[in-house]
């Protein structure tokens, strides 16, 4: 397996093994030092970070512990030292990121001659949590706006399928149901393509799915689309009509909260934060080849994303994908918040994540349609066993509703009603998962 190769140089390309700030008078700054972090490997480095070490390769000594050194990646100077590490993000092969360093001597202290080493790493940012008392279990942190799930099935014809798509927009949840999209040889003006011509079509979401065609030409312009831009399709002239493949589709949106999209047998998963065994991991985009049968996508304690044919009980499971001609995707993500959980067992069909649950017998659950028998929300897709959330913030399957609406169980979902089992914390435009407070 190939790995990134990170190295440190000055702005002239000379290799750097240590940095000498010289002697700095009390209360004064050293000269600014420009450094470059290069990736000399053949694979991309994600979540690149750097930390300071002394001559014994330890995070020790006043300059590191008391954070005398500051770094700048953009415009702001930030203290650097133990538990405060520069985050340089993604560095592609044969590319680099620039970082500036300076040392500020404390008031009343002249530093003497300060020499520091820098250690580079990728994959995981070490973060120290000061209070884990409210976190019940490992899981995923709530993220920003973007797409939680999407996929496309193109088959070399002018009609292709946009799979069920879930978006989060300005704290509202939107769902685009599975939709067939027709892109024939006619452009926005109804003019048919001829040899050597093509046009672009853009898909967006603005209170519904929008497909905007552009004008044809040998070098056509990509049209604008309102709302969130999802993807762009290149439609070229073909004698037998449009023949759109997955390679003709360019994704434009950002995946959030370990969001996923599926193309052929490749699963793409967006960047996200997760807590596992009291450590926070920040993961960049991942690409995983799916095998026939079960694929358990999980986060390991080393910070790597894995795929196994059976459940890994020592990992944080994210998705289960039954990969076949018609794949099934089960969402196993736990979202972290202060909540009370209870382990339950299931002897029937898979209970989908977010379902309103009831007890059939002691510790065995079913879907709830009775306010008097509601006990909680399924935190993940529950196969044989899993957890329900009994109080706190969680994701639930909701049919429409406005922020602050009271919710009532109905056939495993929550609907607006007077008998309150929860409060909706996010407007839902159509049926889908939204955050509620139990």
Q: Report how far residue 369's alpha carbon sits from residue 190's, in angstroms, rounded to the nearest whole number.
A: 51
Helix (H) or strand (E) holding 64: helix 62-65
pLDDT of residue 125: 43
Give 150's contacts (C-beta < 8 A, 6+ positions apart): 162, 163, 165, 166, 230, 253, 259, 260, 261
Q: Which residues pair with 283 in a beta bridge?
A: 272
* Helix residue ranges per DSSP H, 102-249: none
249-251 and 139-140 as β-strands: parallel, antiparallel, unpaired?
unpaired
Residue 202 neighbours by CB distance under 10 Å: 20
Q: Report how far residue 316's alpha carbon sits from residue 313's, in angstroms, rounded to the nearest whole number.
A: 8
Q: If we measure between CA atoms, which residue out of 377, 325, 329 comes closest to residue 355? A: 377
List the chain domain ranges.
Answer: 6-121, 130-147+252-336, 155-166+173-244, 339-437
The two domains 6-121 and 339-437 share their CATH topology (first three levels equal): no
pLDDT of residue 364: 54
Maximum Cα–Cα distance across the chain: 81
Residue-wise pLDDT tens for the chain (438 aa)?
A: 356 788 899 888 888 888 888 888 888 889 999 999 998 887 788 778 888 888 877 778 888 888 888 999 888 888 888 767 888 888 888 899 999 999 988 877 777 778 888 888 776 443 333 333 344 467 777 666 678 778 888 888 999 999 888 887 766 777 888 899 999 999 999 999 999 999 999 999 888 899 999 999 999 999 999 888 899 999 999 988 999 988 899 888 777 777 888 877 888 888 788 888 767 787 777 788 898 999 999 988 778 888 999 988 888 899 999 998 878 888 888 777 656 777 778 878 888 888 988 765 444 566 555 545 677 898 888 888 888 888 777 888 898 888 888 888 888 888 888 767 888 887 887 788 888 888
pLDDT of residue 358: 79
Q: Which residues pair with 80 in a beta bridge?
A: 69
Q: Can you tell me whether residue 63 is helix, strand or coil?
A: helix
What is the separation of C-alpha 132 from the centre of its chain, rounded to a whole number of angstroms?
22
Count how many Cα atoms sit within 13 Å of the Cα of residue 209 in the half-sphere of its side chain: 20
Predicted TM-score (pTM) of this structure: 0.50
Give me Rg for the CA atoms of the chain: 26
Q: Quick check: 179 and 161 in contact, CB under 8 A?
A: yes
Q: Quick check: 47 and 280 in contact, CB under 8 A?
A: no
Q: Report how far residue 297's alpha carbon sits from residue 306's, in angstroms, rounded to the nearest whole number.
A: 6
Report residue 346 as tokens: 């299931």
Tell me, which fold does domain 339-437 have in CATH? Answer: Virus Head Decoration Protein; Chain: A, (2.40.300)
Q: What is the pLDDT of residues 100-148, one digit of tens each?
A: 999 988 877 777 778 888 888 776 443 333 333 344 467 777 666 678 7
pLDDT of residue 363: 45
Measure CA of the first residue to CA of the last residue in the chain; give whole Å.
Answer: 46
* CATH C-level class of 6-121: mainly beta
Helix (H) or strand (E) holding 120: strand 113-121
Residue showing tokens 């000594």: 61
């Amino acid at each position: 397996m190939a790995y990134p190769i990170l190295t440190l140089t000055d702005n002239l390309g000379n290799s750097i093994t240590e940095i000498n700030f010289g002697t700095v008078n009390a209360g004064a700054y050293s000269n600014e030092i420009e450094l470059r972090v290069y990736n000399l490997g053949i694979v991309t480095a994600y979540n690149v970070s750097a930390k300071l070490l002394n001559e014994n390769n330890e995070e020790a000594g006043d300059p590191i512990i008391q954070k005398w050194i500051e770094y700048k990646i953009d415009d702001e100077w930030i203290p650097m030292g133990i538990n405060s590490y520069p985050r340089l993000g993604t560095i592609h092969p044969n590319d680099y990121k620039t970082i500036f360093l300076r040392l500020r001597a404390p008031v009343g202290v002249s530093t003497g001659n300060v020499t520091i080493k820098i250690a580079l790493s990728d994959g995981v940012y070490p973060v120290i949590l000061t209070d884990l008392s409210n976190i019940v279990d490992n899981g995923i942190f709530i993220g920003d706006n973007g797409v939680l799930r999407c996929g496309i099935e193109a088959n070399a014809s002018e009609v292709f399928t946009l799979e069920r798509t879930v978006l989060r927009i300005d704290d509202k949840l939107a769902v685009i149901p599975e939709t067939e999209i027709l892109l024939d040889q006619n452009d926005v003006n109804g003019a048919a393509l001829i040899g050597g011509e093509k046009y672009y079509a853009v898909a967006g979401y603005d209170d519904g799915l929008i497909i905007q065609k552009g004008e044809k030409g040998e070098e056509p312009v990509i049209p604008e689309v309102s709302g969130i831009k999802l993807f762009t399709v290149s439609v070229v002239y073909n004698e037998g009509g449009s023949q759109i493949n997955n390679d003709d589709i360019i994704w434009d949106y950002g995946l959030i909260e370990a969001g996923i999209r599926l193309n052929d047998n490749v699963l793409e998963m967006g960047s996200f934060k997760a807590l596992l065994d009291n450590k926070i991991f920040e993961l960049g985009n991942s690409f995983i080849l799916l095998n026939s049968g079960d694929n358990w996508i999980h986060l390991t304690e080393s910070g790597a994303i894995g795929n196994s044919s059976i459940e890994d009980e020592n990992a944080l499971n994210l998705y289960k994908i039954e990969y076949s001609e018609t794949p099934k995707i089960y969402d196993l993500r736990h979202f972290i918040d202060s909540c009370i959980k209870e382990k339950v067992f299931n002897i029937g069909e898979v209970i989908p994540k977010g379902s309103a649950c009831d007890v059939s017998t002691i510790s065995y659950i079913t879907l709830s349609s009775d306010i008097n028998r509601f006990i909680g929300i399924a935190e993940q897709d529950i196969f044989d066993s899993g957890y329900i959330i009994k109080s706190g913030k969680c994701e639930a399957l909701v049919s429409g509703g406005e922020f602050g609406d009271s919710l009532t169980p109905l056939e495993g979902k929550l609907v607006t009603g007077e008998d309150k089992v929860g409060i909706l914390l996010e407007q839902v435009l159509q049926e889908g998962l939204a955050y509620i407070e139990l």
